[in-house]
Amino acid sequence: MGSEQTEGARQLLLQTYRSMRRIRRFEERTADLIEAGEIKTPCHLYIGQEAIAAGVCAALGRDDYIWGGHRSHGHYLAKGGGLAAMMAELYGKATGCSGGRGGSMHLVAPEVGLLGTVPLVAATIPLAVGAALASKLRNDGRVSVSFFGDGATEEGHFHESLNLAALYRLPVIFVCENNFYSSHLHLLERRAEDNIVESGRAHGVPAARLDGNDALAVHQATAEAVARARRGDGPTLLECRTYRWRGHVGPAWDMDVGVRRKDELKEWQSRDPVAQGRQRLLDGGYPEAELEQTDRGIEEEIEQAVEFARTSPYPDEASLLDFVYASGTGGP
């Protein structure tokens, strides 16, 4: 882009960089806090995949819906969920985004359209289709995004949902974050071919394969999918190829899959999405001092969140049975 960078492009670069850096540092701090024994809820860290959450959410409006899975800290932050409320949730505190009932795997921020994340693989794919159906019936212009991993494409939920969304031309975007490992098992140990993107064609859903470490590429493809959805032209499948740097769960680097993965990791680390975003800004003439100031702001925000989480109260035992049933009319 160099000096040709327009103001709009620079804003997008800055927005996605800040979003990615915030996720990266939140996750690194969380990893430390797990190792220190302060956070005990199982955390599936998003480090390495930040460009996908940042790129997708930069193409969405505040009212658009997103749905996630077990590895959704990044989705929550990128869509605008409160950072301190998520940290408090990881501590199981009453001030957490799910009141200490959810933990890392059940995040919610209805005020910014995040209607829930759950660890049951592929479970929120049909739910995202349902929210898109709600939008279509209300004609309210909202788009619904489903984030899921490559493992989820092996579930029936995925195929049934693509068919339903295509049949009813629903405003939903299926974002598959293909990091090549479902827990410990490589993609090619789970399917005959590396062809997730072709599932789209089979179900009549336009699909594209993307570099999931390039926030701008992800943003561009999502923006096109959003436009298609808002026009009433139906769903899109985006396969974003990426790599998670840490193990399936917890702070360790490769505890699940052994030594072979180290070479891969090295290769993918050379394509670090956060460093890439930073370099683009610098190449475009953005002052390094201002970037450092942005970074410092993120550090302060995270430290304040840790302090907030540490000092917040635990939920009252007397509230154990609250919320088993909704009290009123339900819905956001």
Partner 1 sequence: MRTLTYAQAIREAHALLLENDPRVFLIGQGLRSPWYAGGSLEGLDSEFGPERVMDSPVSENATTGAAVGAAIAGMRPIVFHPRMDFMLLALDPIINQAANWSYMFAGQVSVPLVIRAVVNRGGEQGAQHAQAMQALFMHLPGLKVVMPSTPHDAKGLLIAAVADGNPVLYIDDRWLYDEVGPVAEEMYTVPIGTAAVRKEGADVTIVATSYMAVEAMKAVAVLAERGIDAEMIDLRSIKPWDHELIFDSVRKTGRLVISDAAWKTAGVAAEIAASVSTELFDALKAPIQRVTLPDAPAPVSAALERAYYITAGDIVTAAERAVGV
Catalog residues that contact partner 1 under the rule CB under 8 A: 65, 67, 98-102, 106, 108, 110, 115-116, 118, 120, 123-135, 137-138, 144, 156-157, 160-161, 163-164, 167-168, 322-332
Smallest distance from partner 1 to CB 97, Å: 8
Smallest distance from partner 1 to CB 327, Å: 7
CB closer to partner 1, 231 vs 260: 231
CB closer to partner 1, 115 vs 306: 115
Smallest distance from partner 1 to CB 331, Å: 4
Question: For residues 143 and 172, is the Cβ–Cβ distance under 8 A?
Answer: yes
Q: Where are the alpha helices (DSSP H) in 232-327?
A: 260-269, 273-283, 288-311
Strand-strand pairing, 181-182 and 185-186:
antiparallel
Which residues is 114 bridged to in the sheet? 66, 109
Smallest distance from partner 1 to CB 63, Å: 11
Question: For residues 199 and 158, is the Cβ–Cβ distance under 8 A?
Answer: yes
CB closer to partner 1, 117 vs 242: 117
Smallest distance from partner 1 to CB 99, Å: 3
CA 148, CA 190: separation in Å to the nearest integer? 16
Q: Which run of H or of E encompasses 124?
A: helix 124-138
Smallest distance from partner 1 to CB 112, Å: 12
Sign of the four-CA dihedral 70, 217, 221, 332? positive
Token representation of residue 242 = 């990426």
CB closer to partner 1, 192 vs 326: 326
Q: What single letter denotes the amino acid at residue 172?
A: V
CA 44, CA 244: separation in Å to the nearest integer? 10
CB closer to partner 1, 99 vs 149: 99
Give the residue among 323, 289, 328, 266 at the shortest CA–CA distance from 94.
323
CB closer to partner 1, 192 vs 318: 318
